[in-house]
Chains A and B, each alone.
Chain A
Amino acid sequence: MATVHRSTRARTVTALAAAGALTLLAGCSGSDDSVTGGGKKDGKVVITMGMYGVMGFEETGLLEQYEKENPDVDIKAEIAGDEQTYYTALQTRLAAGKGLKDIQGIEIGRAKEIVDTQAGRFADFSDVAGTDHFLPWKQSQITTEDGKVLGLGTDIGPMAVCYRKDYFEQAGLPTDRDEVAKLWEGDWKKYVEVGRTFEKDFKGGDVAYMDAASGLFNAMVYGYPEQYYNADGELIYDKNPAVKEAWNLAADAAEAGLTAKLRQFQPGWDPGLANGTFATAVCPAWMLGHIGEKAGEANKGKWDVAKAPKGANWGGSFLGVVEQSPVKEEAKKLVAWLTAPEQQAHIFREQGSVPSSQKALESPEVKKVTSEYFDNAPIGEIFGAAAQEIPDKQVLGRKDGTIKDIFSQGLTLIEQQGTARDEAWQTTAERIEKAVG
């Protein structure tokens, strides 16, 4: 009996040892992988890129152009559709130190978190020559306290209001973009007032004045230098009068039934655009492409763009290079080229993403850009002017992106569930506490 026991144990030990060896083997082969996917192969420099949404580098042919001008460079871009998914994956990979690309896109809502927690993992751009052409506030958002620049800016999101000319006419409102802009000049309250008139006078069926209360809320909040956090990184959303003011006005619009009760970029919004269930949408520059695509040929020329009551910045991105990239210098060169004034101007012309480069913004070729879809609106002029109205200081916070989503949901409570605004605010505050606490 004793021998049986011993041999069983011996075998168990052997089996475990084998399993251990197997695990070790697996571990070794894993750590042999190139960490970023890029490197030098057959005399060619391979640079990998991780991006999301429609950043425009691939779509407008810039990557191809760079490869043509630099025959020894091979760029491999991977584009995730949804930024939330992309960022979650990026965080996991940063934590694991595996699976990263040489170049990684960084959305503005995540910039502060990257600056605060991942500064050591991104390469410094402060020594790259010829990168002093950016808007100062844009550059400062990705710079650490000790002056390390973790990326270069791509686009920014100056604001306008997109509106349906035909619906405005049916409501007896002016249709010319300058006159429309005058209706709400200087104050978002006036924009909501116009909505009340629209709702009263419109005779053409079931059309709401605006798509979603959250759009208005974002546009207002982003017009202030400080939003959810102050410059010291403290959470101030509950004390910030700007947030409260935006909340109340958005709630006014929701309670007055001026919205189509939609959620932007979610199901229902796209068919809403295609079928024209709302007359206006507060639109950052990058939203124009989406509206044009989803509203479709049938609505071409019916949409127009008017100046927003106040300047604000909603969205925008950066490109950073991972510190451990084997082709760091080449990748930095590529990023500097992609974000250079000429390339930013090119993307704006092709796709409407407004340059974060001061130099590009001032160039005549950006100023003269018009949008055929939006009845030849001079978007170069409109968004160029709007970009100058953005407050010169833009304080970001660590969980800006998450808090923005929670506020949108809070407004949805008022819009769709008919929750009282104080109760909805309470719920929102509790959720923010949970999300950031």
Chain B
Amino acid sequence: MATSTTSARLGEGRGGPPAKRGGDGTGRRRGALLHRLDVKGAPYAFVAPFFVVFAAFSFYPLVYTSWISLHRVELATLDVMEWVAFDNYVELWNDSRFWNALGNTITIGVISTVPQLLMALGLAHLLNYRMRGSLFFRVASLVPYATSVGAAALVFTMLFERDFGMINWALGAVGLDPVDWEADKWPAQIAISTIVIWRWTGYNALLYLAAMQAIPADRYEAAAIDGASRWKQFTHVTVPGIRSTIVFTIVLSTIGATQLFGEPLIFGQGPNGVAGGADNQYQTLGLLLYEEGWKNYQMGRSATVAWAMFLLLVLVFVVQRLIRRLRVTRTS
């Protein structure tokens, strides 16, 4: 497709059939060559930086990581690599820590993504109304996103602290027992999800808001004339109107949830952060990767986890596409 259009344009650029070219001077030919270079070469020149950077910083590491994952190699002695073929993968498959981390990644992912997107939707709907100081609220909703993971996680860690944290203090004030947020599985996962929700809700809300503002106002008017309530308008006009944005945020959040790392690491602090709690109760796949690489210094096994995560994401999207195709064929 692309070649046919360029060659068609190329024909125009030559200024006529090739037979005529013989009599023209070399100047004309050089001009044609430059023009050809410009038309044909420029696009490649423009996209080249991306591909060079991609090759150097994404593709090469990807390939090299897969190479490392087939070896037994330690960080201190990176030059000594022992070929083990797929042993690392087999070991990972049989490793209870991997399945535990996968389970945690999914549960933390669900309890952070679902409320986050629902809240973002609601927030966007509210921001979409005409009101005073809407700009202020829009900027305010983006502030958590601008905060660094480190700072946010550190503050939340202090809030969730067992003995002197503000949240347990508040629970105590209303007569409830304090919760050991770090040591117990579900409280720890909820606490980590809180950090994620806090950081990303505003960001998603702004994405939704941008999409909502592209919905023509007459649809709402029509719906209002038909007697639809605000809620009906929301479910029948707004949500279908921003469907593609919702899919986009789900994709983004899934990737983010799979790679969740900074929040649990800082929430646990020290050795517990790396291990995702004394009982690995909130160790995510990202943390497992880090533990293998930067605490056990086993780069081969660390690389294996990295590849497992990558394959997992591919799998998720393949399954999602399959489901969508099935649905489409069924409806048609």
Contact = CB atoms under 8 A, between A and B. Distances in A.
A92 B78 CA distance: 9
Interface string A200-235: 000000000000000000000000000000000000
B269 A266 contact: yes
A118 B78 CA distance: 12
Given A268-B161, A268-B163, A275-B164, A409 B271 contact: yes
B293 to A, nearest CB: 9
A266 B272 contact: yes
A412 B269 contact: no
B52 interface: yes
Interface in B145-200: 157-158, 161-164, 180, 183-184
A267 B297 contact: no
A15 B48 contact: yes
A22 B275 CA distance: 40
A22 B51 CA distance: 13
B279 interface: yes
A402 B294 contact: no
Contact of A412 (B44, B52, B75, B278): B278
Given A19-B55, A271-B164, A416-B278, A117 B76 contact: yes
B84 to A, nearest CB: 13
Nearest to A263: B272
B45 interface: yes
B183 A417 contact: yes
B155 to A, nearest CB: 12
Given A11-B41, A11-B44, A19-B55, A4 B161 contact: no
Contacts of B76: 91, 94-95, 113, 117-118
Contacts of B232: none
A112 B255 CA distance: 41
Interface string B267-297: 0011110010011000000000000001111
Contacts of B275: 409
SS class, residues of chain A in contact with chain B: helix
B296 A263 contact: no
Given A4-B10, A15-B48, A417 B270 contact: no
A194 B52 CA distance: 68
A413 B162 contact: no
Nearest to A262: B163
Nearest to B97: A434
A84 to B, nearest CB: 8
Interface string A247-265: 0000000000000010101
Nearest to A414: B278
Nearest to A7: B40
A267 B158 contact: yes
Nearest to B293: A88
B77 A95 contact: yes
B77 to A, nearest CB: 6
Interface string B242-275: 0000000000000000000000000001111001
B7 interface: yes
A266 B272 CA distance: 9
A19 B52 contact: yes
Q: Which one of B161, B270, B275 has the greatest number of beta carbons of chain A within 10 Å?
A: B270
Given A409-B271, A416-B278, A88 B294 contact: yes
A265 B56 CA distance: 40
Contacts of B95: 434
Q: Which one of A4, A117, A267, A412 has the greatest number of beta carbons of chain B within 10 Å?
A: A267
A405 B271 contact: yes
A261 to B, nearest CB: 8
B6 interface: yes
A1 to B, nearest CB: 7
A436 B40 CA distance: 56
A23 interface: yes
Interface in A397-420: 402, 405-406, 408-410, 412-413, 416-417, 419
A435 interface: yes
B329 interface: no
Interface string A84-122: 100010011011000000000000000001000110000
A436 B296 CA distance: 7
Nearest to B292: A434
Interface of B: 3, 6-7, 10, 36, 40-41, 44-45, 48, 52, 55-56, 75-79, 95, 97, 157-158, 161-164, 180, 183-184, 269-272, 275, 278-279, 294-297
In order of increasing CB-CB distance, the 3 nearest A-B pairs are A412-B278, A416-B183, A405-B271
12 contacts: A4-B6, A15-B48, A84-B295, A95-B75, A95-B76, A266-B270, A268-B161, A275-B164, A277-B163, A402-B295, A409-B271, A436-B296
Given A402-B296, A413-B278, A417-B278, 17 more contacts: A15-B45, A19-B52, A84-B270, A88-B75, A117-B77, A263-B270, A266-B270, A272-B163, A405-B271, A406-B271, A409-B271, A412-B272, A412-B278, A416-B180, A416-B278, A417-B184, A417-B279
